[in-house]
Structure 1
Amino acid sequence: MERITLPFLLRKPGSALLASISLAAVLAACTPAATSPGAESNEPTLSQATTSESPSPMNEDSSSPPTNSDEAAVLEVNRERSRLLVEQRTDELDDLLSPDFVAVHITGYEQTKAEWLAQIRSGQMRYHDFQEVSATVTIDGDSAVAITRSLVDATIYGSRGAWPLESTTTYVHDGGTWKAQHSRARTY
């Protein structure tokens, strides 16, 4: 398995605990810290984690560009979607989503595009930050699948939390652009 950096803190200076996940769950996903030769360490750190799929890190600081221009375009649309969510720019977000877009949340609740955008506009769903940990894109003709892992800081129905989410998003090539058609989020 490949090690990747998990760039998040469970607390921000001067704020309450943001995560509603157990520390044990976070530590279970972490790998032992690198130690000097001959030294043993079984203590996991929050700065290192492994993933079952072993995706390549795609943080802007350390990413290598995708090898395919379609992969790069899908990844850019995916990142733009996250940025627009944080900025609550729902009109532009609407343009990145196919008319039949469906969002499946970590609870399993499915939302239509119209319902999801309405809840973002009303403030019922407020996204504060996305810290991308990894991303992979697979292209198959006029469809693509992006699998991203991010720490998402959001206020959902009045409760703020930070969740390590894996999002699997299906894209379709529509009118020369890639549009999200279906997105399913799970904790990892």
Structure 2
Amino acid sequence: MTVKINEERAVARVVHQQVQGMLEKNLELLDQVIAPNAKLVHITGTVQSKAEWLQQIRLGRMHYFSSHEVLFQVVVKGKQAQVVMRNELDARIYGFRNTWPLQSKVELVKGPHGWQIIASHASMY
């Protein structure tokens, strides 16, 4: 079905833009693709708001160097979507640099201006 495929591509584009924004430290792009009230759960279990996470990137406490995608799955149901992705993410988090085997479950909703991320839960795989 063409409509569903197009929606899956639109969702994938938003999630890939998030990764691109992280690597480029493009806070404007991250601000666009992540909803204002989004909740982000990190591998430590720490829950941050979008504003808190962007501030950590701005201050250099979270710095992303590269990402190698190893899995990417999209499920769209109406105006809601979920992405499960696995990346080998080279990052320095609070002073510790590592290549993290990261699995993210990302939830998105479609609003009047397109898809936005409303939640992300990261864990190691």
Calculate the TM-score normalised by the size of structure 1: 0.63
2:53 pairs with one of 116, 123, 126 = 116
Indicate the structure with greater strand content. 2
CA RMSD in angstroms comes to: 0.9
Equivalences for residues 140-155 of structure 1 within 5 A = 140-155=77-92
* Aligned counterparts of 2:113 and 2:61: Cα–Cα separation in 1: 33
The answer to whether residue 62 in structure 2 is matched with residue 125 in structure 1 is: yes
In structure 2, stretches of 5+ residues that fail to align are none
Calculate the TM-score normalised by the size of structure 2: 0.94
Deviation for aligned residue 1:176: 3.4
Question: Per-residue CA shift, 1:24-71, capped at 9, x if unaligned?
Answer: xxxxxxxxxxxxxxxxxxxxxxxxxxxxxxxxxxxxxxxxxxx61111
* Aligned counterparts of 1:97 and 1:111: Cα–Cα separation in 2: 13
The answer to whether residue 117 in structure 2 is matched with residue 162 in structure 1 is: no
SS at match of 1:72: helix
* Aligned counterparts of 1:102 and 1:91: Cα–Cα separation in 2: 18
2:21 pairs with one of 79, 84, 102 = 84
* Aligned counterparts of 1:182 and 1:122: Cα–Cα separation in 2: 22
Indicate the structure with greater helix content. 2
Show the counterpart of 2:41.
104
1:138 pairs with one of 75, 78, 89 = 75
In structure 1, stretches of 5+ residues that fail to align are 1-66
Instruction: Point out which structure has higher relative CO (alpha carbons under 8 A, 6+ apart).
Output: 2
* Aligned counterparts of 1:77 and 1:141: Cα–Cα separation in 2: 16
Show the counterpart of 1:187.
124
Identity of aligned residues (%): 38
Moved over 3 A (4+): none
Give the conservation status (yes or no) of the 8 Å contact 2:17–2:29.
no
Q: Give the aligned residue type for 2:121.
A: R
Deviation for aligned residue 1:139: 0.6
